[in-house]
Structure 1
Amino acid sequence: MSLALKLVLSPLLVAQAIGTRRRAPVLPEASGERHGVIGSGEPLRVLIVGDSSGAGVGVPTQDLALAGHLSRTLAREAGRQVHWQLVAQSGITSAQALAMVRRESLRPAEVAVAVLGVNDVIDQVPSMRAVQHRAALADWLLAHAGVRHVVFAPLPPVHQFPLLPQPLRWIMGRDARRHDEAMARWAATRHDVSHVPIAIRLDASCMASDGFHPGEPVYRACGEALARHIATTTTLR
């Protein structure tokens, strides 16, 4: 979609965004421990960094969220004892994620999983600037947190979010795809970073009650896909 058309539609888009924010229920982050150990065998330490999707908004407990599904699947697929830590906060952008990990007390980790990007789209961060922010996050984790590989989850198919009205849903979806494509191109240039495409169809049956955040089926599909990718990453063998 051209910038000119986006500018023409901007009054409608702003009105829809304000209305959507007002009527959307505010869901809590998932409860439960944000670190744990699962499985047996050689230890594999994993750090999960994220926004509301990392924090498990949309499900009641971390067991049902991304961290739970990822750690259980990874322990099984890799045959390793997975030591995991979750550092996540609702509403943060990729730039704010770097500030967050800098102030947290991080446990040692060989691999980091980043679940970020939707808030960059919401805040209208240009796609290349968002990639720069994620690159800065990856570089910091590699240099200061002992991480050997950073795995980036893809942006979700925002154009399928039930909460969003048209044309806001379509336009945000286009923006999200542009961000994700830029991220994939950048990750392909690095040996210590990867971007994991995950094909998933979203509708009200698999989303949270707000129609915006993932439900348990989405967390399960994404956690399992990310875990399988990590289990077969050559740098971690």
Structure 2
Amino acid sequence: MDRLLAPLLSPLLIAQALRLRARALRLPEPPGPRRGEVGRGPDLRLLILGDSSAAGVGAPHQEEALSGQLAAALAPHCRLSWQLEARTGATSRSTLTDLETLPRQPFDIVLLVLGVNDVTSFAPLPRILADRERIAQALSDRFDAPMLIITGIPPLGQFPLLPAPLRWILGHRATRLERMLATRAECAGHPYLPFTMPMQRNLMAEDGFHPSPLAYARWAEALQPHLLSLPVSAREPDEPPQH
């Protein structure tokens, strides 16, 4: 339905998007380390790759953002070496380009946090899917990553910042892309974790668009068991799988 209505509503959608961009509160990426080593136990090398939510926008410091919350949640269970490569505005296409600048190094798990800017940029969905496949191949070729975990797209149709009908169009577009990405991920054997947090006010940052520190904490808590399903190569000898 959004494919039919978006062209008809394009003048209004463009006007709403420009007005939103001019008036919206712009939060910075928080300060703090973007790599580190914590914990004791079996080794786990984690790359967090993505957009402003991966970069922690909405939190005052990286310790309260996704990377810091994940490090704290994983440290009691493993010796974690983590690295954050994320920036505001990142799309699947720009992330693919950024990967080419990163030095080759091994990771056990890559957590991919992307999708919102793919939706809001109105990039063609087949191009996004092709870029995702190329990202997965680049991660395998450059970083020897045996596990790629893909996070789902937040429900843009519920974002309080977005006016109607822009909110409605983006919500439907996000849902379509989500279904396609989930199907592709299942076929490729990549875990796909839908975004299930409610859009409650205390879970949103003051800009009405990004997660709050509480949301990042809950998100990390939900991701932890999936990240602790370690590849066999990442566990120390005789270390049983963790649940």
Q: When the two structures are superposed, what TM-score results if normalisation uses the length of structure 2? A: 0.90
Going from structure 1 to structure 2, the CA distance change for 1:2 and 1:214 (only over 3 Å counts) comes to closer
Does residue 167 of structure 2 align to residue 169 of structure 1?
yes
Aligned counterparts of 2:102 and 2:32: Cα–Cα separation in 1: 18
Q: Distance in 2 between matches of 1:141 and 1:6?
A: 34
Matched, 1:47 2:47: yes
In structure 2, the partner of 1:88 is 86
- Tell me the distance in 1 between the aligned counterparts of 2:104 and 2:43: 17
Runs of 4+ in 1 over 4 A off after TM superposition: 233-237
Matched, 1:195 2:200: no
Counterpart contact for 1:71–1:227, Cα < 8 Å: no
- Are positions 1:118 and 2:116 aligned together? yes
1:221 to 218, 222, 229: 218
Q: Which residue of 1 aligns with 2:237?
A: none
Query: What is the aligned partner in structure 1 of residue 201 from structure 2?
Result: 204
Change (3 A) 1:228 1:198: farther
What is residue 12 of structure 1 aligned with on the other side? Answer: 12
After superposition, the Cα gap between the structure-2 partners of 1:123 and 1:17, relative to the gap in structure 1 and judged at 3 Å, is same
Cα offset for 1:233?
5.6
Q: Cα offset for 1:106?
A: 5.7
Write the deviation string for residues 79-127 of structure 1: whole angstroms up to 9, x where unpaired: 2111100001111111111111221236531110011111111111122
> Residue 103 of structure 1: SS of its match in structure 2?
coil
Paired AA for residue 43 in structure 2: P
CA distance in structure 2 between the aligned counterparts of 1:106 and 1:154, rounded to whole angstroms:
27
Quote the Cα distance in structure 1 between the aligned partners of 2:75 and 2:184. Answer: 29
Equivalence for 1:231: 228
Identify the range of structure 1 (124-133 vs 18-27) with the bigger mean alpha-carbon deviation. Answer: 124-133
Q: In structure 2, do the counterparts of structure 1 residues 36 and 149 end up closer, same or farther at CA, with 3 Å as the change threshold?
A: same
Deviates more, 1:198-207 or 1:109-118: 198-207
Partners of 2:39 and 2:178 lie apart in 1 by 32
Identity of aligned residues (%): 40
- By how many angstroms is 1:190 displaced? 1.5
Note the alpha carbon deviations across 1:124-171, whole angstroms, 9 max, x for none.
Answer: 112232122111111111111121111111111111111101111111
CA distance in 1, matches of 2:74, 2:179: 26
Bigger shift: 13-22 or 211-220? 211-220
RMSD over equivalenced CA pairs, Å: 1.6
Unaligned runs of 5+ in 1: none
The verdict on how the C-alpha distance between 1:94 and 1:148 changes in structure 2, with shifts beyond 3 A counting, is same
Deviations 1:177-235 (A, max 9, x none): 111111100000123x2211231111332111111111112212222222221213666
Instruction: Tell me what 1:21 maps to.
Output: 21
Query: Equivalents in 1 of 2:230, 2:43: separation in Å?
Result: 16
Q: How many aligned positions are there?
A: 234
Note if contact 1:52-1:89 (Cα within 8 Å) is conserved in structure 2: yes
Q: Is the 8 A contact 2:204 2:210 kept in 1?
A: yes
Equivalent residues in 2 for 1:104-183, closer than 5 Å: 104-105=102-103, 107-183=105-181
Structure 2: distance between partners of 1:107 and 1:234: 17
Provide the rounded CA distance (Å) in 2 between the counterparts of 1:5 and 1:97: 29
